[in-house]
Structure 1
Amino acid sequence: MTARQKTGTVIVTCALTGAIHTPGMSPYLPVTPEEIIAEGRRAVEAGAAILHVHARNPETGRPDQTVEAFGRILPALKETGAVINITTGGSPFMQVDERVGPSAHFAPELSSLNMGSMNMGLFPMQSRFPDLGRDWENEHLENSRDVVFRNTFKDIEHILDTCGPNGTRFEFECYDIGHLYTLAHMKGRGKVSGPLFVQSVFGLLGGIGGHPEDVMMMRRTADRLLGDDYEWSVLGAGSNQLRIAATAAATGGHVRVGLEDSLWAGPGQLATSSVQQIEKVKDVLSGLSLSHATPDEARSILGLKGANEVNF
């Protein structure tokens, strides 16, 4: 039985901005350091224990994976008391050395780590957002027809070997069943150790879908491969977000929400903040007689090193 199942507490992660959605899709997507910091503060006040952090160029809105860009965000987010999770995924269009730079430099408590290469089709969003204002936004979507989001065994090992010695633990992002097998392979070789934090991703074109059977198949496979030595969390892309969060919470999982994963608060209703999604998840948890974890409870559940051991 996992720590979460013993305590009845669910870790809520909030992904603040990401690298998939573009500024023209929603005026509420945080882009500048000030906007990302403000969104992070609101999310923690609403109940998020972990903040999953990307950075963007404040003028163009493009994803920005430089140390300098993260340096303008991280100290203020640390002041919220939340666990700070720095992406090593960056953007599907970036190389691994660029993607790992901020985590290597800042040695956070937690970093995301994508567990396999995949097609990541963003181009269907073109029909939903035909009037994006910047040329790069349209290119960003169209170019996803012919890009492989590269996460080879060598790339994964590079990130583990670069960040692991700093005491950073990982949010293992698994977009399909094969990614769980890769994680089990790394565990069998002693490259990773528990408690593993497995973030199952549902509903992105190129990965596993968002059907309830997909969710439970991922859970059953993780149980079989990893036993009791992991904590399971889910994120559902777009309209899948709350349905999948509810399914996971009811079956012993943690949840991730935020404008990185969905721009919506309901059908046809843009979320003005990730807080709206956090509040909806809290309603689900309350109905299940579950509570949301504090940042320190999340640290205990995941075996993190503590905020005093980071380099920001």
Structure 2
Amino acid sequence: MNHDVIVTCALTGAGDTVDKHPAIPVTPRQIAAAAVEAAKAGATVVHCHVRDPETGKPSRDTALYREVMERIREADVDIIVNLTAGMGGDLQIGQGERPLEFGPGTDLVGPLERLKHVEELLPEICTLDCGTLNFGDGDFIYVSTPAQLRAGARRITELGVKAELEVFDTGHLWFAKQLLKEGLLEDPLFQLCLGIPWGAPADTTTMKAMVDNLPPGATWAGFGIGRMQMPMAAQAVLLGGNVRVGLEDNLWLDKGVPASNGQLVERVIEIITRMGARPLTPAEGRRKMNLSRRA
């Protein structure tokens, strides 16, 4: 069991959740305010996507990331910022017998283009999604090929940013370890992402199997989506890991009760403290993850 827990809050994500919740953070001001709320609730890390302020749709606009970062840094809180680098891998296959007529949901760019905001803003952590995945029941695929991952890993290492490897299935973990074997990453973090159709399911057997295949001494966290958010958080702590909660992964505090990011952080901290663990402060989290503080 892990008694000293890094608590990450994933604030908004890129999912189609704006019309499913009364207060999904959309604008940079709202996303930064959610980060401050999570920090005051006891989070160690905030994981940030950005959205188009006019439409609420996911965005890769560096200016939006910059505003979020500036607003967080100007606030009277200390929090570790983890920026997604997963945007730009969406492929909507054409329907039926016309698969090459890609749909309007396609947003597919190269591995270095996905890191433009990371290169400019230099957060303490950024993500690297470690494989291609059928995403849901339709024709969407998240694309991240071995060649793209090698290029992305190499660039993240050159920038001196800590990589958090997003692992959605067992093959993703296999390839993440290959990146380490090839010397393309240095001391990365691992995030076990469970419950996304059709990746690894959110259950004890799957999480334990993935944990058993992590590199020795790896710093890792795990999460489940939806109703499995809190059960998988408890399971991660029992297996020696850290936790992630937030509106990116789950919209509800209780059945029929919309959550805020701060409330989800408070709920998971209550769970882990009742288990005999404690949440780490950002300063303690930096030491545990071997981060250097950025201005």
How high is the TM-score relative to the length of structure 2? Answer: 0.89
Query: For residues 99 and 27 of structure 1, do their structure 2 counterparts lie closer, same or farther at Cα, with a shift above 3 Å needed?
Result: farther
Picking from 183, 195, 205, the partner of 1:213 is 205
TM-superposed CA distance for 1:88, in Å, is 0.4
TM-superposed CA distance for 1:163, in Å, is 2.4
TM-superposed CA distance for 1:91, in Å, is 5.7
Unaligned 5+ runs, structure 1? 124-144
- Match status 1:174 vs 2:146: no
Unaligned 5+ runs, structure 2? 91-106
Tell me the alpha carbon deviations over residues 213-254 of structure 1, each in whole angstroms, 9 at most, x when there is no partner. Answer: 1111111122xxx112x1110111111100000011122110
Checking the alignment, whether the CA contact within 8 Å between 1:49 and 1:293 is kept in structure 2 is yes
One-letter amino acid of the counterpart of residue 190, structure 1: G
One-letter amino acid of the counterpart of residue 216, structure 2: G
Equivalence for 2:240 = 252
Picking from 220, 229, 238, the partner of 1:241 is 229
Query: For residues 241 and 92 of structure 1, do their structure 2 counterparts lie closer, same or farther at Cα, with a shift above 3 Å needed?
Result: farther
Higher helix share: 1
**More deviation, 251-260/76-85:** 76-85
CA distance, structure 2, for counterparts of residue 172 and residue 69 of structure 1: 23
- Match status 1:83 vs 2:80: yes
CA distance, structure 2, for counterparts of residue 32 and residue 174 of structure 1: 28
Equivalence for 2:95 = none
CA distance, structure 1, for counterparts of residue 23 and residue 280 of structure 2: 26
Tell me the alpha carbon deviations over residues 122-152 of structure 1, each in whole angstroms, 9 at most, x when there is no partner. Answer: x5xxxxxxxxxxxxxxxxxxxxx11220111
CA distance, structure 1, for counterparts of residue 16 and residue 245 of structure 2: 14
Aligned CA RMSD, in angstroms, stands at: 1.5
- Match status 1:187 vs 2:174: no
- Match status 1:278 vs 2:250: no
The correspondence of residues 1-312 of structure 1 with structure 2, limited to 5 A, is 5=2, 8-79=3-74, 80-90=77-87, 92-93=89-90, 94=107, 95-96=109-110, 97-121=112-136, 145-194=138-187, 196-222=188-214, 226-228=215-217, 230-271=218-259, 273-308=260-295
CA distance, structure 1, for counterparts of residue 139 and residue 66 of structure 2: 32
Query: For residues 91 and 288 of structure 1, do their structure 2 counterparts lie closer, same or farther at Cα, with a shift above 3 Å needed?
Result: farther
How high is the TM-score relative to the length of structure 1? Answer: 0.85
Instruction: Report sequence identity in percent.
Output: 31
Checking the alignment, whether the CA contact within 8 Å between 2:12 and 2:246 is kept in structure 1 is yes
Higher strand share: 2
One-letter amino acid of the counterpart of residue 116, structure 2: G
TM-superposed CA distance for 1:51, in Å, is 0.8
CA distance, structure 1, for counterparts of residue 73 and residue 294 of structure 2: 8
One-letter amino acid of the counterpart of residue 145, structure 2: T
Checking the alignment, whether the CA contact within 8 Å between 1:19 and 1:91 is kept in structure 2 is no
TM-superposed CA distance for 1:268, in Å, is 2.5
Q: Secondary structure at the match of 2:56?
A: coil
Equivalence for 2:102 = none
CA distance, structure 2, for counterparts of residue 151 and residue 33 of structure 1: 27
CA distance, structure 2, for counterparts of residue 263 and residue 38 of structure 1: 17
Checking the alignment, whether the CA contact within 8 Å between 2:16 and 2:57 is kept in structure 1 is no
Tell me the alpha carbon deviations over residues 245-268 of structure 1, each in whole angstroms, 9 at most, x when there is no partner. Answer: 001112211000100111111222
CA distance, structure 1, for counterparts of residue 113 and residue 15 of structure 2: 17
CA distance, structure 2, for counterparts of residue 100 and residue 111 of structure 1: 9
